[in-house]
Chain A
Amino acid sequence: MSAYPALQRKIAEQITRIDEDYRESTEMPVPPPDWVKAVDTLAKLPTRGDSWIGNILNEIHKTAAAQYKNTMEEYRKAVRVRHSLLERMMPYWRKLSQTLDQVDKTIIGLHERSKVIDSRMDEYEEIRKKTDKAARMLSSSAMTQFFISALVLLIAIGGAVINFNLIALPMSEMVGGGSYIGNFKTSNIAALVIILVEVAMGLYLMESLRITHLFPVIGQMDDKMRTRMIYVTFTILLILAGVESALAFMRDRIAADMQALRQTLATVTEAQPVNSWIPTVGQMVMGFILPFALTFVAIPLESFVHSSRSVFGSGLAGLLRLISFALRLLGNIVKYLGEFLINVYDVVIFPPLWIENLIRNKTHVGDVAEAIVNEEVS
């Protein structure tokens, strides 16, 4: 890696040299040789009336000119061949140059990546040494991930609620509006199940695409199996999106019918319905898109799951610290309260004890004096 710049420079220099050589190879036609001048001079000699000398000289000139022309043509032909050969080499040189540029970019990228790897290795070393800095860094990173993913999950939950409202009413047309499972309407549970199945399919799809890594079993599948899983999950999602779109259409119709019935029951003149296809189409499009949008829940979910462990751990540690502080505070309060009460008791008990002691001393002094008197008498 360290020798690469030198190597690259060397190759570049070589390419430049080849290029220069090529340019230099385009030589000018060589000047006619010296004997041609001699022939020219002979040709220009005055004939002085001798026709045969003149003829000879003319013949010599013609022969020399023809030879010169032939020589020049052969020379040019040879040069043309050489140039064509050189020209054929040009793309290879350019390709070589481009390849080198690419190698240069890759090496620069590798160099930058190696810097990132170095910084990661430093962090890893810090983590291995269990330093406070590493702990703070990890905790802060997990906290950021936790809040961002929680925010995105909240948005996704909002989408799921809208989705639920789109399909809950028409589901009662399929599973019955009056049936219950426990305290919940069967139609509501069915709508919820469809949304959850969509989310689950989205998770499997993301796992199969290796975007998330929540299920190692899926990630470890061979490529053929994984591709099959991608197709299967995507097909199920597509079908569910179609079903939702149809349910959204049905919802629009049922809602319109209910509205008309309510107006009849309220003996209000039936309002002219808004004869527009826009709300219907809007609901259908939403019903179709939302399942695919929910697919991407997998990404923040993974971040949330991974970061929540660290965040909950930090939270629990904070809570334990708070409890320990409160208990220590309570202990100290009780301890000093005890001491205070002892002091108060001392203040209160001191006068009676002092008086008691005083009386006892007096009695004791009297007894001692009586004992001495008795001893002396005896």
Chain B
Amino acid sequence: MKRLLALSLISISLLVSGCPDTTTHSQGVYMLLDSSGTYRNEIKRAQAIVNYLLGTLQSGDSLAVARIDSGSFSEKDIIAKMTFDRRPSVTNQQKRLFKQKVDDFVAKVKGSAYTDITGGVLQAVEYLNETGAGRKHILIFSDLKEELAKGHIRDFPIQLSGCKVVALNVTKLRSDNIDPRVYYKRVEQWKERIEAGGGEWRIVNDLERLESILAD
């Protein structure tokens, strides 16, 4: 009888405490928001995507939202970042706080002179590697037109192994309308760059189907 009870208690405690594996199943999402002059008007749509991410991500997942400006390889450009607590009740509070920060940013956003997408991607890789997430997503909400300030060096390979890069709402510029090949070339260049760095590339322009953003 005593042996039976002891066995039951040990099995309960073993299974409840268990050997938890918190890294491999957690997700890390880093979203870059283009705040350059031409794209600033689109930022409200990004807000909906952030809300979708907040509703989708679970306890233990990490989320960061950063802006793309003239020099994006900087922690200062991170609007909000959070690794959600293991308890769902605390996670809900964190999500509310996160949403508030993003809403504040959207309300006060100012356009930047240049667009340093590469710097933002580098910052994203750094952050996601630090979180130790099992699945890493970098979402680029931009037209993918990079314009660097004088002296900024970004023409080098980026290490993106294990990262899935999703370009969202890649709008066509006026010049793209004149010659669509410019648009395709721009997208193709980014694809080659990401895949050369060991990452996976995908474009999602239909924002009505947000569930495809984090799809494997």
A: residues with CB less than 8 A from B are 169, 172-182, 186, 189-190, 193-194, 197, 200-201, 204, 225, 228-229, 232, 253-254, 257-258, 261-262, 264-267
B37 at the interface (CB under 8 A from A): no
Shortest Cβ gap from B11 to chain A (Å): 7
| Chain A residues within an 8 Å CB radius of B99 | 264-265
Q: Which of B74-95 contact A (CB under 8 A)?
A: 84, 86-89, 91-92, 95
The reply to whether B59 and A176 contact each other, CB–CB distance below 8 Å, is yes
| Chain B residues within an 8 Å CB radius of A229 | 1
B155 at the interface (CB under 8 A from A): no
- Report how far A257 CA is from B87 CA in the complex, Å: 13
The reply to whether B8 and A177 contact each other, CB–CB distance below 8 Å, is no
| Chain A residues within an 8 Å CB radius of B215 | none
B54 at the interface (CB under 8 A from A): yes
The reply to whether B15 and A179 contact each other, CB–CB distance below 8 Å, is no
B157 at the interface (CB under 8 A from A): no
The reply to whether A193 and B15 contact each other, CB–CB distance below 8 Å, is yes
The reply to whether A179 and B54 contact each other, CB–CB distance below 8 Å, is no
Shortest Cβ gap from B177 to chain A (Å): 32
Closest to A190 in B: B16
The reply to whether B5 and A262 contact each other, CB–CB distance below 8 Å, is no
Given A177-B58, A179-B22, A190-B16; A266-B87 close (CB under 8 Å) = no
The reply to whether A267 and B87 contact each other, CB–CB distance below 8 Å, is no
Shortest Cβ gap from B3 to chain A (Å): 11
Partner of B88, one of A169, A186, A194, A265: A169
Instruction: State the total of A-B contacts with C-beta under 8 angstroms.
Output: 99
Given A177-B58, A189-B18, A261-B96; A197-B8 close (CB under 8 Å) = yes
- Report how far A232 CA is from B3 CA in the complex, Å: 13
**1/0 contact string of B1-25 vs chain A (CB within 8 Å):** 1001100100110011111111011
Shortest Cβ gap from B42 to chain A (Å): 17
The reply to whether B15 and A173 contact each other, CB–CB distance below 8 Å, is no
The reply to whether B1 and A232 contact each other, CB–CB distance below 8 Å, is yes
Shortest Cβ gap from B84 to chain A (Å): 7
Partner of A265, one of B55, B87, B91: B55
Given A175-B16, A177-B58, A204-B4; A261-B25 close (CB under 8 Å) = no
The reply to whether B92 and A177 contact each other, CB–CB distance below 8 Å, is no
- With an 8 Å Cβ cutoff, the count of chain B residues facing the other chain is 35
Given A228-B1, A265-B54; A176-B92 close (CB under 8 Å) = no
- Report how far A320 CA is from B66 CA in the complex, Å: 69
- Report how far A201 CA is from B12 CA in the complex, Å: 13
| A contacts with B: majority SS | helix
B: residues with CB less than 8 A from A are 1, 4-5, 8, 11-12, 15-22, 24-26, 51-52, 54-55, 58-61, 84, 86-89, 91-92, 95-96, 99
The reply to whether A178 and B26 contact each other, CB–CB distance below 8 Å, is yes
- Report how far A204 CA is from B5 CA in the complex, Å: 11
Closest to A200 in B: B8
Please, could you name 18 A-B residue pairs with CB atoms under 8 Å apart, sorted by A?
A172-B59, A173-B88, A175-B18, A176-B59, A177-B59, A177-B91, A178-B84, A178-B86, A179-B86, A180-B22, A186-B18, A190-B15, A190-B18, A228-B1, A253-B89, A261-B54, A261-B95, A264-B96
The reply to whether B12 and A232 contact each other, CB–CB distance below 8 Å, is no
| Chain B residues within an 8 Å CB radius of A186 | 16, 18, 20
| Chain B residues within an 8 Å CB radius of A265 | 51-52, 54-55, 95, 99
The reply to whether B25 and A193 contact each other, CB–CB distance below 8 Å, is no
- Report how far A262 CA is from B19 CA in the complex, Å: 32
- Report how far A201 CA is from B24 CA in the complex, Å: 35
- Report how far A66 CA is from B11 CA in the complex, Å: 102
| Chain A residues within an 8 Å CB radius of B91 | 177
Shortest Cβ gap from B24 to chain A (Å): 7
Point out which of B1, B20, B21, B55 has the most chain A C-beta atoms below 10 A from its C-beta.
Answer: B1
The reply to whether B51 and A180 contact each other, CB–CB distance below 8 Å, is no
Shortest Cβ gap from A270 to chain B (Å): 12
Given A190-B16, A197-B12, A265-B99; A178-B25 close (CB under 8 Å) = yes
The reply to whether A180 and B54 contact each other, CB–CB distance below 8 Å, is no
Point out which of A177, A200, A261, A262 has the most chain B C-beta atoms below 10 A from its C-beta.
Answer: A177
| Chain A residues within an 8 Å CB radius of B8 | 197, 200-201
Known: A190-B15, A193-B11, A204-B4. 11 other contacts (CB 8 A): A176-B87, A178-B22, A178-B25, A179-B18, A180-B22, A181-B19, A197-B12, A200-B8, A264-B96, A265-B51, A265-B95
- Report how far A232 CA is from B8 CA in the complex, Å: 13
The reply to whether B60 and A179 contact each other, CB–CB distance below 8 Å, is yes
- Report how far A204 CA is from B1 CA in the complex, Å: 10
Closest to B19 in A: A181
Please provide the 7 A-B residue pairs with the shortest distance between their CB atoms, ordered closest to farther: A178-B60, A177-B59, A176-B86, A179-B20, A265-B51, A178-B59, A180-B25
- Report how far A229 CA is from B26 CA in the complex, Å: 44
| Chain B residues within an 8 Å CB radius of A190 | 15-16, 18
- Report how far A172 CA is from B16 CA in the complex, Å: 11
Shortest Cβ gap from A269 to chain B (Å): 15
| Chain A residues within an 8 Å CB radius of B92 | 257-258, 261
The reply to whether B87 and A179 contact each other, CB–CB distance below 8 Å, is no
